[in-house]
Amino acid sequence: MWPQWMNMLSWWQWAIMAAIPPAIIALYFLKLKRLPLEVPSTYLWQRSIEDLHVNSIWQRLRKSLLLFLQLLIILIAILALLRPGCRGNKLIGERFVFLIDNSASMRATDQDPNRLDEAKRRAVQMIDEMHSGDVGMVVSFADTARVEQMFTDNRRSLCRAVEAIKPSSRSTSLGEALKVASGLANPGRTSYEESDIQTAEALPATVYILSDGRFDDVSNFSWGNLTLIYLPIGQEEAANIAILAFSVRRHETRADKLQAFARIENFGTDDVSLSAVLRLDGEVIDAAKIDIGGGEVEGVTFDLGATDSGKLELSINSHDDLEIDDKAYAAINQPRKAHVLLVTPGNEPLELALATPLANELADIDIQSPDFLNNKQYQTTSQSGGYDLVIFDRCAPKEMPQANTYFIGAIPPGEAWKAAEKVDVPNIIDVDPAHPIMQWIVMDDVLLHEGRPLIPPAGATTLIDTHAGPMLVIAPREGFEDVVQGFMLIENAGEGDEAGIYARTNWPIRPSFPVFVFNLLDYLGGGQRATAAGGVQPGQAVVIDAPASAAKASGKKISVRTPSGKTISLKESRPGRFNFTDTDEQGIYEALYDGKSFLRFAVNLFDSTESHIVPRKAFEAGPTAVEGQSGWKESRKEFWRWLVLAGLVILLFEWYIYNRRVYL
Amino acid sequence: MDLLPPELLARLEKMELISRKIFRGRMKGERRSRRKGQSVEFADFRSYVPGDDLRFIDWNTYARLDKLFLKMFFEEEDLHFYALLDGSLSMDYGDPTKFEYAKQLAAALGFVGLIRGDRVKIETLGQSHKAASPVFRGRHSMWRMIEHIDGFASGEPTTLAEGVKNFCLRNSGKGIVVVMSDLMDKAGFQPALRYLLAQEMDVYVIHILSAEEIDPDIKGDLRLVDCEDQDVAEITVSVPLLSRYQKTLAAFIETARDYCTRRGMVYLLAKNEVPVDELITGYLAKRGLVR
């Protein structure tokens, strides 16, 4: 361990410092004053000196002892000012929070045996260095933070808590962990009418973040009493090749065929050649050789042919430092048609659009008149999740169904949605092509006769905007989505002879309309899920709808089989809906109803932040950047006290010599 | 300074000066001379030879032995006691100063001489060879003597040899001479003592050194200035230098002692720290100057 130096003085101070030794030497040689002393006779002294002149060099050296000592003191002072220190194990403060990252990237094996174990080892090392009376807390964090051990001075339980931290496959969020830490160090305030008074005494704490820094910067964080010390774990040269995306889609032209797409990124700097192997239900069905340059991304496509269902696994033989992202999974589900209810007093253009073969492939469409809304069957089916999508044409239910909805020329019940007064000929000025519903939709040739600009609830996305206001808006609602259209397609209007069906827009006769209807069915009807369920990331919740066959049955029993074969029973969170959160494991999960698999979904890492495993040198937390400390910079062992002590001892020695004549 | 405190006087009362040589005084003193003669103290017998004083024939022996024997007595005579003080500047150091010490010693020894009827002369080196100094005799002269000693002042510019030479010129008679000096003469003390040897005097050399000279308590870088000739010695006090000094001092003392012993002089090293009465009753009695 070589000392590390810290400069404590500016250049002019150093200049003064550097001038001292020559000054001492100059003073010494100038010998400004020998103290005159009158003695009875120099007779004996002269004779003594004569004897000593023989070995005058030694005498001179001996005489210079004081000079040497003075120079030594100055040297020591200079050394002390350089603040030498070395990687010490001294912890600063009395309260410590050990934030240990156990996200997916911490599984990287660039450190032996892996980063998490290295982080744990260092945490244990630091806990060992705690003084008695110091308290520590252990928090593990990935996408969420978990207090493994509350503040305690029991080092053994702290170490046990550290040892108990298990690697996860989750992404990382430091903000959560910092919130936990700051909640204890910066206790909340209680508001009184006139002033803020702190309810508890703030307790300063030192937070040691043992992580590879692969997380997003935390912006809205105030340090308060916390001192953040970031100890990066991992090697700078860590290389990784990751599958960042893997999905299965229907062939663009041949709908009966499936295609698998994968995106592979090389996070290292070297060019790599590797092979990707695709397995269906464990059988190798395809392989590809991929060359990826350093820092580049490659895409691979596999033609699957006509595959109804199965579990797809793509693996690459990258032999890199992080294994978890070398495999990706995708589930192909039995095509399941969406269950769509159209409630309309009669809407020929819409019914035509829903009757196209493609639309029929996606959904079974049930067309009912508005009276059906009062029917008991509707009420039970809609409230138990029997429909995937309900389209309300110029009518509205009393209660929103447990399904996605599409309102045409009507406003959903309740306070959330509102509409302004009717506007004549609103000009379409914008569409949102980024939204899946509006894909491939061109509205340039569409004219609107009239419409009511919508006032959507918060979180809504405007799909069609007119000069008067939004005319087509999508907004989320408790896990469902509602699309509301402010203009009617057709209207039964007129009186007497003029009574009849009037078109309120020319959209139905434009090519974009059937495409829109198809998108709508595809997006809101759950068509996407039917072919190949897009995966979720580890730790994320999955919403599972009970199969239509189970909708009417009461006491539904839904369970999920994890990739490792464990079966977990689910509880209904809402009629027909189940939430599954135990998605820590990567792989394909199967949702079972009565022991039969009806839905598969894949859990994949697919996180470029996690896969990019080169540890970050610094990150930003709140207003300040937190620099990674190669050692424990803050906990370095300082030598300057010892140097000052040595200087004092030498000073004492010099003083003693000067006074007691104990020269060499 | 009170040269002779009463308690010292009381101790000195019982003492007398002793000479190892036989001196003929001009007057009878209370001194027992080696020369046998008329006195009350019996010394020896010897055979009668014609011409001897019949008064000294021991008739009792004649009656018993039928032979004539002459009774011999110690003759009592007075003694010349000289105290020679070094009054150079270098003596003006120490606490008490070496000069004060020498004065006190001279007074004490002088007093012993006075009470025994000896002729006491106390002089300093600086005195010229022509200047006569008073002679004290008898107890009644004590105060005069003390006054005389008190009148001495240090700072005489004479060298040791010069002073002794003048002393010898002034005082041709025999007797006891006590030289009190620090012997710190760059020309050496030997020539000075040689003069005294030529006088055939009973010489006592009391080498007075101050505590500062025997164990100098100095430190640092010093420029030593000789008070007499302004000679300068630049020293840096160090242990080797001090030990070297001690060796030099020891050699110096040894040389003086050796020189004196070889030539029948009595050498005595006196530190100014040792009280005068202790020196007289102890050391000087041991060396045979007083009894």
Strands B80-85 and B119-124: parallel
Q: Which residue in chain A has the smallest CA separation from B252? A: A44
| Residue span of the structural domain in which A64 resides | 11-33+41-87+640-660
Domains and CATH numbers, chain B: 6-14+78-210+267-287 (3.40.50.410), 31-77 (no CATH)
Read off the CATH number of the domain in which A598 is found.
2.60.40
Q: Structure tokens of A370?
A: 């508005």
A98-140, pLDDT tens digit by residue?
Answer: 889 988 888 888 888 888 998 998 888 888 877 777 888 899 9
Is there a domain that residue A507 lies in? yes
Q: What is the pLDDT of residue A195?
A: 45
Buried b (16+ CB within 10 A) or exposed e, A34-52: eeeeebbbbbbbbbbbeeb
Contacts of residue B6, Cβ cutoff 8 Å, sequence gap at least 6 = none
Clarify whether residues A522 and A373 are in a common domain: yes
Q: How far is B84 from chain A (nearest CA, A)?
A: 19
Is there a domain that residue A610 lies in? no
Q: Structure tokens of B191?
A: 């020539």
In the listed set A300, A330, A360, which residue is the last one of a domain according to the structure? A330
Q: Which of A44, A47, A662 sits opposite B239 (nearest CB)?
A: A662
Clarify whether residues A488 and A408 are in a common domain: yes
Q: Which residue has the higher pLDDT, B227 or B79?
A: B227
Q: How far is A51 from chain B (nearest CA, A)?
A: 8
Read off the CATH number of the domain in which A480 is found.
3.40.50.880
Clarify whether residues A178 and A108 are in a common domain: yes
Q: Which of A39, A43, A63 sits opposite B225 (nearest CB)?
A: A39
Is there a domain that residue A193 lies in? no
In the listed set A503, A528, A553, which residue is the last one of a domain according to the structure? A528
H-only helix segments in A54-200:
56-63, 65-81, 115-128, 155-163, 174-185
Clarify whether residues A446 and A418 are in a common domain: yes
Q: Which of B223, B225, B241 sits opposite A48 (nearest CB)?
A: B241
Clarify whether residues A365 and A284 are in a common domain: no
Instruction: Single out the residue of B231, B134, B117 nearest to residue B184, CA to CA.
Output: B231
B232 touches chain A (CB under 8 A): yes
Read off the CATH number of the domain in which A266 is found.
2.60.40.10
Report the C-alpha gap between A105 and A174 in whole angstroms. Answer: 14
Q: Which residue has the higher pLDDT, A624 or A661?
A: A624
Interface of B with A in 262-291 (CB under 8 A): none
Q: How far is B200 from chain A (nearest CA, A)?
A: 30
Clarify whether residues A104 and A154 are in a common domain: yes
Question: Measured between beta carbons, which residues in chain A are less than 8 angstroms from residue B213?
Answer: 40, 44
Is there a domain that residue A261 lies in? yes
ipTM of the complex: 0.75
**Peptide bond before residue A113 is cis, with ω within 30 degrees of 0:** yes
Instruction: Single out the residue of A250, A302, A340, A326 nearest to residue A532, CA to CA.
Output: A250
A30 touches chain B (CB under 8 A): no
A1 touches chain B (CB under 8 A): no
Residue type, B239: V
Pick from A466-470, A546-550, A568-572: least confident? A546-550
In the listed set A506, A528, A550, which residue is the last one of a domain according to the structure? A528
Q: Which residue in chain A has the smallest CA separation from B97? A: A40
Residue-wise DSSP of A249-304: EE-SS-TT-EEEEEEEEE-SSS-EEEEEEEEETTEEEEEEEEEE-TT-EEEEEEEE
Q: Is the pLDDT of residue A372 over 70?
A: yes
Is there a domain that residue A290 lies in? yes
Clarify whether residues A232 and A245 are in a common domain: no
Q: State how far Cα A475 lies from the chain centre.
A: 25
Beta bridge partners of A505: A448
CB contact (8 A) between residue B248 and residue A48: yes
Clarify whether residues A255 and A225 are in a common domain: no
Q: Is the pLDDT of residue A272 over 90?
A: no
Is there a domain that residue A609 lies in? no
Clarify whether residues A454 and A316 are in a common domain: no
Most A CBs within 10 A among B226, B230, B234, B243, hence the mutation to make, goes to B226
Buried b (16+ CB within 10 A) or exposed e, A586-602: bbbbbbbbeeebbbbbb
Clarify whether residues A311 and A448 are in a common domain: no
Q: How far is B204 from chain A (nearest CA, A)?
A: 23
Per the structure, how many domains does chain A have? 5
CB contact (8 A) between residue A37 and residue B222: yes
Q: What is the pLDDT of residue A196?
A: 46
A64 touches chain B (CB under 8 A): no
B214 touches chain A (CB under 8 A): no
Clarify whether residues A322 and A464 are in a common domain: no
Report the C-alpha gap between A519 and A362 in whole angstroms. Answer: 10
Q: Is the pLDDT of residue A664 over 50?
A: no
| Residue pairs between chains A and B whose CB atoms are closer than 8 Å | 106
Q: Give A26: exposed, middle or buried? Use CB within 10 Å, 0-12, 13-18, 19+.
A: exposed
Q: Is the pLDDT of residue A596 over 70?
A: yes
SS3 B125: coil
Is there a domain that residue A277 lies in? yes
B213-250, pLDDT tens digit by residue?
Answer: 888 888 777 888 888 888 888 777 777 788 888 988 99
Clarify whether residues A351 and A496 are in a common domain: yes
B30 touches chain A (CB under 8 A): no
Q: How far is A31 from chain B (nearest CA, A)?
A: 9
Question: Measured between beta carbons, which residues in chain A are less than 8 angstroms from residue B239?
Answer: 661-664
Instruction: Single out the residue of A250, A238, A19, A7 nearest to residue A109, CA to CA.
Output: A238
CB contact (8 A) between residue A40 and residue B185: no
Q: Structure tokens of A23?
A: 């000054």
Report the C-alpha gap between A264 and A289 in whole angstroms. Answer: 12
Pick from A340-349, B27-36, B118-127: least confident? B27-36
User: Would you place residue A342 in the very low, low, confident or very high pLDDT band (cuts 50, 70, 90)?
Assistant: very high
Residue-wise DSSP of A537-561: -TT--EEEEPPHHHHSSSS--EEEE
Read off the CATH number of the domain in which A208 is found.
3.40.50.410
CB A570 within 8 A of CB A294: no
Is there a domain that residue A361 lies in? yes
Helix, strand, coil shares, percent, chain B, to 5: 40, 25, 35
